[in-house]
Amino acid sequence: MIPIRDTVRSETYPIVNNALIALNVFVFLIELSKGPGLNHFIYVYGLVPARYTVPEISAYFTTGQQVIALFSFMFLHGGFFHLFGNMWFLYIFGDNVEDQLGHLRYLIFYIVCGLASGISHIALNWTSQVPTIGASGAIAGVMGAYFILFPRARVLTLVPLLIFFPFIEIPAFVFLGIWFLFQFMSAATYSAQVAGIAWWAHIGGFIFGIIFLKLFQALPQSSWERDLQQLARRHSTEHIQVIRPAARERDGADLYETITVSEHEAIFGTRKLINVAEGFRKKTFILNIPPGISRGTTLRLRGMGRQIPGDGRGNLYLKVQIEE
């Protein structure tokens, strides 16, 4: 299952979330520059449990190196697809959690979740000499928080089925529940040394994300952070919008629904990727919204309605709502 987007719109720009993604990409570029010295670099800045539990190994590292590795491992990745997969999940789920916690609290929450996931990995792989790297544990904490904050949200998901690739809306608690179950089953079946994946770090990050969310929500938000959130408020609506049109008559061919744009988009125009939840020949299409559109304007999409035997296909009418 590949998540495409969720249906919860964040009210502010995810400043911290985007910065974390940029930082991970920057560190990956540093890795690429290491050439033959990459393995040594990973061993120094990755998380190696034996460095903390085996005195003969820990003696080769300074206290500073040991502390730094507890944090630096979550910004290293083993390859492009490892990086891309982690950053995509962070992009999907992180903005909404940041929106709820605020920028500073979200940053601290992310780091603490990553640290907790690393400690979980050390505790369950006590003498392992295999370096663990990746943002997966910290992102798992973000997903755990999302699981609590937005259980009824829906995740637009690409589900590969042999030669078919349908888009399906899955409730967030189901999507994340399946993800967590997969991590648990994998952890019970494979060891981190064999699979090369720190399953227990994912599980620990997810669980600690749920716990830490409650603690961080109890922390007061400073006035300057509230001001920053106000400045970071979005001026556009989501690029991908999911609609569920319906007929006004039981046997009607024409279907009706609304779409939402911001005041800025209404003035200057925009393009939206529209995903129809069910019942259409075309599941996804791009909609051009012309500049200067006003509230209540109805856009007619020919041939996008129901197929009526003998009468052809009806139209889809989209009424424009402008978000203030």
Residue 235 has a pLDDT of 63
CA pair distance 266, 229, nearest whole angstrom? 23
Residue 232 has a pLDDT of 66
- The candidate with the shortest Cα–Cα distance to 111, out of 81, 73, 157, is 73
| CA 259 to centroid of chain Cα atoms | 23
Residue 280 has a pLDDT of 47
Q: For the chain, how long is the longest CA-to-CA vector?
A: 82
Question: What H or E segment, with its residue span, contains residue 313?
Answer: strand 312-313
Instruction: Pick one of 3.40.50.970, 1.20.1540.10, 1.20.1250.20, 2.30.110.10 as the CATH number of 2-231.
Output: 1.20.1540.10
| CA 49 to centroid of chain Cα atoms | 28
Residue 224 has a pLDDT of 67
Two structure tokens written together for 4: 């495409």
| pLDDT mean values, one per 10 residues, the chain (324 residues) | 83 91 96 92 92 90 92 93 94 93 92 92 87 91 95 86 77 91 77 59 90 87 70 70 82 86 85 72 77 90 81 86 81
SS3 71: helix
Question: What H or E segment, with its residue span, contains residue 255?
Answer: strand 255-262
Structural fold of domain 240-323: HSP40/DNAj peptide-binding domain (2.60.260)
Residues whose CB falls within 8 Å of the CB of residue 143, separated by 6 or more in sequence, listed in order:
89, 93, 176, 179, 206, 209
Record the pTM. 0.76
Is there a contact between 206 and 144 (Cβ–Cβ < 8 Å)?
yes
Q: What residues does CATH 1.20.1540.10 cover in the chain?
A: 2-231
Two structure tokens written together for 72: 């630096």
Q: What residues does CATH 2.60.260.20 cover in the chain?
A: 240-323
CA pair distance 267, 323, nearest whole angstrom? 12
Order of strands, edge to edge, in the sheet holding 240-243? Answer: 240-243, 270-276, 284-289
Is there a contact between 142 and 90 (Cβ–Cβ < 8 Å)?
yes
